[in-house]
Amino acid sequence: MMNIGLVGYGYWGPNIARNIIYNSGFKLACICDHDQNRLELAHKHYPFIPKLSNIDDLISNPEIDCIVIATNPTSHYTIALNALKNHKHVLVEKPLSTSLSEINSLEQIANEQDLTLMVDHTFLYNGVVQEMKSLIDNHEIGNIKYIDTTRINLGIFQNDVNVLWDLATHDLSIVNYLLQKMPKSIIATGKCHIKAGIQNIAYLNLMYDDDTIVHVHSSWMSPVKIRLMLIGGDKKMMVYNDIEPTEKLKVYDTGLSFDSNDKDQILVDYRVGDVNIPKYSTKEPLASMIQDFEKSIVQKTKPISGIESAKQIVKILSAAQTSLDMNGKEILI
Amino acid sequence: MMNIGLVGYGYWGPNIARNIIYNSGFKLACICDHDQNRLELAHKHYPFIPKLSNIDDLISNPEIDCIVIATNPTSHYTIALNALKNHKHVLVEKPLSTSLSEINSLEQIANEQDLTLMVDHTFLYNGVVQEMKSLIDNHEIGNIKYIDTTRINLGIFQNDVNVLWDLATHDLSIVNYLLQKMPKSIIATGKCHIKAGIQNIAYLNLMYDDDTIVHVHSSWMSPVKIRLMLIGGDKKMMVYNDIEPTEKLKVYDTGLSFDSNDKDQILVDYRVGDVNIPKYSTKEPLASMIQDFEKSIVQKTKPISGIESAKQIVKILSAAQTSLDMNGKEILI
Amino acid sequence: MMNIGLVGYGYWGPNIARNIIYNSGFKLACICDHDQNRLELAHKHYPFIPKLSNIDDLISNPEIDCIVIATNPTSHYTIALNALKNHKHVLVEKPLSTSLSEINSLEQIANEQDLTLMVDHTFLYNGVVQEMKSLIDNHEIGNIKYIDTTRINLGIFQNDVNVLWDLATHDLSIVNYLLQKMPKSIIATGKCHIKAGIQNIAYLNLMYDDDTIVHVHSSWMSPVKIRLMLIGGDKKMMVYNDIEPTEKLKVYDTGLSFDSNDKDQILVDYRVGDVNIPKYSTKEPLASMIQDFEKSIVQKTKPISGIESAKQIVKILSAAQTSLDMNGKEILI
Amino acid sequence: MMNIGLVGYGYWGPNIARNIIYNSGFKLACICDHDQNRLELAHKHYPFIPKLSNIDDLISNPEIDCIVIATNPTSHYTIALNALKNHKHVLVEKPLSTSLSEINSLEQIANEQDLTLMVDHTFLYNGVVQEMKSLIDNHEIGNIKYIDTTRINLGIFQNDVNVLWDLATHDLSIVNYLLQKMPKSIIATGKCHIKAGIQNIAYLNLMYDDDTIVHVHSSWMSPVKIRLMLIGGDKKMMVYNDIEPTEKLKVYDTGLSFDSNDKDQILVDYRVGDVNIPKYSTKEPLASMIQDFEKSIVQKTKPISGIESAKQIVKILSAAQTSLDMNGKEILI
- What pLDDT, in 10s, does the model give residues D1-19? 899 999 999 989 999 998 9
Q: Work out the angle between the directed axes of helices C127-137 and C169-179 (0-180°, nearest 10).
A: 30
Q: Which amino acid is at B231?
A: I
Percent of chain C, pLDDT > 90? 78
CA A72 from chain center: how many Å? 16
B143-152 pLDDT, tens digit per residue, is 999 999 999 9
Give contacts of A279 with chain C, Cβ < 8 Å: 271, 273-274
Amino acid B272: pLDDT: 59
Tell me the nearest-neighbour CA distance from C299 into chain D, angstroms.
39
Q: Which residue of B has its CA nearest to C27?
A: B44
**Residue D122: φ, ψ to 5°:** -55, -35
- Taking the Cβ of residue B255 and every Cβ of chain D, the question of whether any pair is shorter than 8 Å is answered with no
At residue C194, does pLDDT exceed 90? no
Q: Which residues of C touch B41 (CB under 8 A)?
A: none
Contacts of B279 in chain D (CB under 8 A): 271, 273-274
Q: Is B12 exposed, middle or buried (0-12, 13-18, 19+ CB in 10 A)?
A: middle
Residue-wise pLDDT tens digits, D178-214: 999 999 999 999 999 888 889 999 999 999 999 999 9
pLDDT at residue number D71: 93
Which H helix or E strand runs over D175? helix D169-179
Yes or no: say if C10 and C70 are a contact pair by the CB < 8 Å rule. Answer: yes
pTM of the model: 0.87
| Cβ within 8 Å of A, B 56-115 | 72
Lowest mean pLDDT among A99-113, A146-160, A171-185, B50-64: A146-160
Lowest mean pLDDT among A97-111, C135-149, D42-56, D260-274: D260-274
| Bridge partners for D68 per DSSP | D6, D91
Does the pLDDT of residue D326 top 80, yes or no?
yes
Indicate if the pLDDT at residue D274 is higher than 60: yes
**Virtual torsion, Cα B202, B203, B207, B211, nearest 10 deg:** 160
Q: Which residue has the higher pLDDT, A255 or A117?
A: A117
CB nearest B273 (choices: D246, D271, D279)? D279
Band (pLDDT 50/70/90 cuts) for residue C263 is: very low
Question: What was the pLDDT predicted at A59?
Answer: 94
In whole angstroms, what is the distance from residue B55 CA to residue B34 CA?
Answer: 8
Closest Cα in chain D, distance from residue A3 (Å) = 16
Q: What is the pLDDT of residue B71?
A: 93
Through-space distance between the first and last CA atoms of chain B, rounded to whole angstroms: 42
Q: Which helix (H) or strand (E) holds B217?
A: strand B213-219
* Cα C315 to chain centroid, rounded: 14
Residue A281 φ/ψ, nearest 5 degrees: -65, 140
In this complex, the residue of D270, D275, D279 whose CB is nearest that of residue B277 is: D275
Q: Model confidence over A275-329: pLDDT tens digits?
A: 899 989 989 999 999 999 999 999 999 999 999 999 999 999 999 999 999 999 9
Write down the pLDDT at residue C73: 85
CA dihedral angle for residue C294, residue C298, residue C304, residue C305, rounded to 10 degrees: 60
**Segment D139-156 mean pLDDT:** 92
Nearest to C289 by CA among C97, C110, C70, C85: C70
Burial class (CB in 10 A: 0-12, 13-18, 19+), B34: middle
CA distance C212 to D33: 40
Chain D residues 19-58 with CB within 8 Å of chain A: 21-22, 44, 47-48
- Cα A178 from Cα D279, distance rounded (Å): 39
Per-residue confidence (pLDDT) for residue B206, from 0 to 100: 98
Nearest to C275 among A247, A270, A271 (CB): A247
Quick one: CA dihedral A90, A94, A97, A101, positive or negative? positive
Cβ proximity of D136 and D321 under 8 Å: no
Rounded CA-CA distance B125/B306 in Å is 12
User: Which one, of C231, C212, C249, lies nearest residue C141 by Cα?
Assistant: C231
DSSP C297-319: HHH-PPPTT-HHHHHHHHHHHHH
Supply the DSSP string of B22-69, one letter for each residue: H-TTEEEEEEE-S-HHHHHHHHHH-TTS-EES-HHHHHT-TT--EEEE
C275, C276, C282: best mutation site toward chain A, by most A Cβ within 10 Å? C275
**Chain A CB contacts of D245 below 8 Å:** 225, 243, 245
The alpha carbon of residue A158 is apart from the nearest alpha carbon of chain D, in Å, by 23
Taking the C-alpha atoms of C71, C73, C74 and C75 in order, what is their torsion angle to the nearest 10 degrees? 30
Nearest CA in chain C to A273: C279
Check if the beta carbon of residue C85 is closer than 8 Å to that of residue C302: no
Question: Residue C266: which of D72, D159, D252 has the nearest Cβ?
Answer: D159
Q: Contact A247/C278, CB-based, under 8 Å?
A: no
> What pLDDT was estimated at residue A260?
46
Long-range contacts at B237-246 (CB < 8 A, ≥ 24 apart): B237/A221, B237/A222, B237/A223, B237/B141, B238/A223, B238/B132, B238/B135, B238/B141, B239/A223, B239/A224, B240/B128, B240/B129, B240/B132, B242/B128, B243/C245, B245/C225, B245/C243, B245/C245, B246/C225, B246/D270, B246/D271
Altogether, the residues listed in chain B come to a count of 333
Q: What region, left, alpha or beta, does residue A257 occupy, with left being phi > 0 and alpha being psi -120 to 50 degrees?
A: beta
Do D109 and D81 meet the contact criterion of CB atoms below 8 Å apart?
yes
Q: Give the number of other Cβ atoms within 10 Å of residue A106's Cβ.
A: 25
- Measured CA to CA in angstroms, residue B130 lies from B133, B244, B279 at distances of 5, 17, 11
Beta carbons of C47 and B48 less than 8 Å apart: yes
Residues 111 through 150 of chain A touching chain B, CB cutoff 8 Å: 145-146, 148
Contact D159 C329 (CB under 8 A): no
Q: Phi-psi region for residue B328, left (φ > 0), alpha (ψ -120 to 50) or beta?
A: left
Residue A255: which pLDDT band, with cuts at 50, 70 and 90?
A: low
Query: Pick from D202, D198, D193: which is nearest to D159 by CA?
Result: D198
Mean pLDDT of chain A: 91
Residue D252 pairs in a beta bridge with D237, D275
* Chain A residue with Cα closest to B220: A268
Q: Is the pLDDT of residue C272 over 70?
A: no
A200, A221 Cβ separation under 8 angstroms: yes
Q: Is the pLDDT of residue A48 over 70?
A: yes
Residue C105: pLDDT band with limits 50, 70, 90: very high
pLDDT level of residue D256 (50, 70, 90 thresholds): low
Dihedral of the alpha carbons of B208, B213, B219, B222, in degrees to the nearest 10:
180
Rounded to whole angstroms, the Cα distance separating C29 from C6 reads: 8
Chain D residues in contact with A47 (beta carbon < 8 A): 48
Structural Rg of chain A based on CA atoms: 21
Q: Subunits touching B (CB < 8 Å, at least 3 pairs)? A: A, C, D
Phi and psi torsions of D151, nearest 5° = -140, 90
Distance CA C55, CA C29 (A): 13
Torsion of CA B36, B41, B42, B46, to 10 degrees: 140
The end-to-end CA distance of chain D, in Å, is 42
Low-confidence stretches of chain B (pLDDT beneath 50): 258-263, 269-271
Torsion of CA D319, D325, D328, D333, to 10 degrees: -10
Whole-number pLDDT of residue C260: 45
Measure CB to CB from residue B47 to each of C48, C243, C246 and give the nearest one. Answer: C48
| CA C240 to the chain's CA centroid | 16
Chain A nearest C-alpha distance from C178 (Å):
22
Task: For strands A26-32 and A51-52, give the pairing.
Answer: parallel
The answer to whether the CB of D245 falls within 8 A of the CB of A225 is yes
CB-nearest partner of D154 from C191, C195, C254: C254
More confident residue, A267 or A131: A131
- pLDDT digits over B89-128, tens only? 999 998 888 899 999 999 999 999 999 999 999 999 999 9
ipTM of the complex: 0.91
pLDDT of residue A147: 98
pLDDT at residue D292, rounded to an integer:
96
Residue C161 has pLDDT above 70, yes or no: yes
Asked if D225 and A243 come within 8 Å (Cβ–Cβ), the reply is: no
Cα torsion for B28, B34, B38, B39, to the nearest 10°? 50
b (16+ CB within 10 A) / e for B43-77: eebbeebebbeebeebbebeebbbbbbbbbbeebb
Instruction: For chain C, positions 259-298, list CB contacts with chain D under 8 A.
Output: 263-271
Among candidates B95, B88, B55, which has minimal Cα distance to B73? B95
For residue B246, what is the DSSP state?
S
Query: What is the end-to-end Cα distance of chain A in Å, rounded?
Result: 42
Chain D residues inside the 8 Å CB shell of C327: 207, 330
Contacts of C272 (CB under 8 A, 6+ apart): C253, C254, C255, C257
- Tell me: pLDDT of D47 over 80: no
